[in-house]
Amino acid sequence: MLTDKRLIRYILKKGSNQAADELIRRYYDDLYFYLYRQVGNGDEALDLTQEVFIAALKGLSSYDDSKSLFRTWLYRIGTYKVIDARRKVKVTWLELKDIEHIDDEIDFDEGLYQKELLSAINQYVNSFRPEIQEIFRMRVYGELSFPEIASLLAQKEERIKAQYYRLIKKVREEFDDYE
């Protein structure tokens, strides 16, 4: 199995579609689920996944493997795509149709509550600077370690941790009454 570095070299030097396909296959599912956990919509996650790979392949010459893993670099592009998509969202109101009966009403209510809370937290995080959102998304949705995030953002790990934990403290304070 070829390394990411070698595949990238084949893409850049030879324009290899086969190497590009292999690189996309290698990271497609992980990237899709990373994006899906943030947007909560399969179609939107598919669109964003495609946009990320297009942007990554176009900008592949700017990727520096000494600064981050390719996976981490993709997640960073994905994070920016999610932030951009959230900026473009327009609120639309849906009409509720008459609902006769909902089975498992308690489970439904709990699931609805969790989705509502997650949505509220995402909205709250969206009110912070994009740099803070990026750290939050990489840590929570991308499950990246602090050293990975620090390397990717070219910042000190202590600074990344401090910003993340300050945000988490604010989130807890803001949503304390949800418990």
Write down all domains in the chain, each with its CATH number in brackets: 1-91 (1.10.1740.10), 106-179 (1.10.10.10)
Determine the pLDDT at residue 110: 58
Residue 73 parent element (H or E): helix 70-88
Q: 102 falls in which pLDDT band (50, 70, 90)?
A: very low
Residues 63-87 pLDDT 10s: 988 888 899 899 989 988 988 887 7
Tokens (6 digits) for 111: 């699931």
Report the alpha-carbon distance of residue 47 to residue 56 in Å, rounded.
14
Residue type for position 69: L
- Average confidence score pLDDT of the chain: 83
pLDDT over 80 at 88, yes or no: no
Residues 12-65 pLDDT 10s: 999 999 999 999 999 999 999 999 988 888 999 999 999 999 999 999 999 988
